[in-house]
Structure 1
């Protein structure tokens, strides 16, 4: 974002190439972008530089050339296709067998006048969805939708904007990114294909228990993009100096902190809670609260004997067995991990498996798809191989994919 804002604030147009559709296997997901903009060499020669990646290296050169051509010739935004076939193996670089649709556009004050405002909102930790027309009338027009319902921009027509605004808000609430197709009653040519990209704050990982394992886990969780909080009620251990990798270290009773964070709207269904203290005076009240909340993952460290005793105490505290089944304990996958770093890998491996509803079986021993499909909570219009209609507000049109 720093580089994009550098160009933007100096009124230097740059090209943005974004993956809008992926078929079969591809190294990077929908929504991944690469930007190409001006740079100056040490001897003053003008050239372009690239930031980001759309394929992990496979088709970067071709995408870079397409972006350069757009900047040089001021072409209209367009979709570029990259694919693989047996007859042209490796010709396009996608030896993984994937097919990509990449939307290439120029970003400047005319094409995206509120780009700076969107960047500032993201820096402030706000959730934003950006809807971009990629096929149909006026390709490259943008509509930004914020979590509180505020929006900026237009994709053309009041009814069309209202439809996209409502759909984008729903996608933003679920953290979804993808294409939608709009047919409306504005009298504008249709249908219109719109790419909606959701930007949400990082998911949270709450680590309870300021022990050595918490340090390794916080460092590793940061690599996965989590906002990490370490919480403990013991002032001797809960210090920022002991956990430099954490975003924050909180000195408070864990169960009170967790409840306060939830009541304050600071947690969501992506939140991960890892209980590492294996001390009943902390664990039991904390787990009673945690298991009653809609969190993505709740795990607790301890031996099998510790778990059996903890389970008994939780039942006595009023937790029913169905709720207790949500608890991952002993925490982590069965990797034979020893020491704090390996234990952190074990825990995060389980977090990823639970998030994606996968087993811990090796890929070589299964025929499951390598990359995760859309989540079960995806709206109907996002589900693969489905076609449904969604009424538009105050119109006779439809929205479908």
Structure 2
């Protein structure tokens, strides 16, 4: 695919840059950079208002175009979606609280949902009014989603609706979400990939849904446990056929690493720039040739990831592309966290100067980065799972024998 910008694309970039410059002011400017991975708990109220600001101008859901129609969003080519992502990241705008709805659920509904489901949910996402969370991982079923045990049974009242019972874990933004898409087992006794369904569940069900924050070693609580005790999901809110949830769920994971991967990389580039500036300011890069080599390597690897992502966007379906992308950025970001600590030296182990008993576990941005990146090679599908996918689905190697 040719990623050269046309005059129309340059006009689109200028419009995006001008809009961000005019609207990223006041409380939105003060929330700049907040809400990124590892700090998704920050400024959620402001970021939710910012979501509606974006939606009102049509900046959510770029490219949800015919044959499905538009839902309050702007039409945009794939290149223009990349342009918007780049400008958004470079402006230092707040982390998106609507990311899961826009970049995970919406493409899934466009690919697998009914027109009634699209018209019910996509306009609310495009307006920034309804937030979503993802109900996939469970205790004992993290990277291995085929081990899901949360169950959904048909209501005995004859409505055909579902009652969901079980537990999900590591659920980002569950404390703020209006809806959750849940992978649940709808066929009793089924195992593995069989008997799973993809259900859209309203979170406002007191007594039936409980959200408990998970306090991490970084001191933050952006992830949650979610407990379902007979929570209701309407039959018409099942995406795909009953028992076809595995196909829908894995299709969503493939869609997850599209344009949003480029947004992520721009954030990575900003973090790397800060580490580089610190290394130059403190003289660490001059004193330590090994560190200097690692910084150059990090810069080169990030450029490689960008070109890989751009090539993947224009290359059609590739069953291995999502796994390759995850392996590349997970390890790279983890190494960046280690580099940030190495550049700072012994100072990296110190707490802030304004420590107090009321705030005994405050960390600075680089310490949080280091601790959060410990999980980069685990969440979203561990490195071991990604390599297994590549071995079996791309290289055609035999499955490992199970005893």
TM-score past 0.5 threshold: no
More helix by share: 2
Greater relative contact order structure (CA < 8 Å, 6+ sep): 2
More strand by share: 1
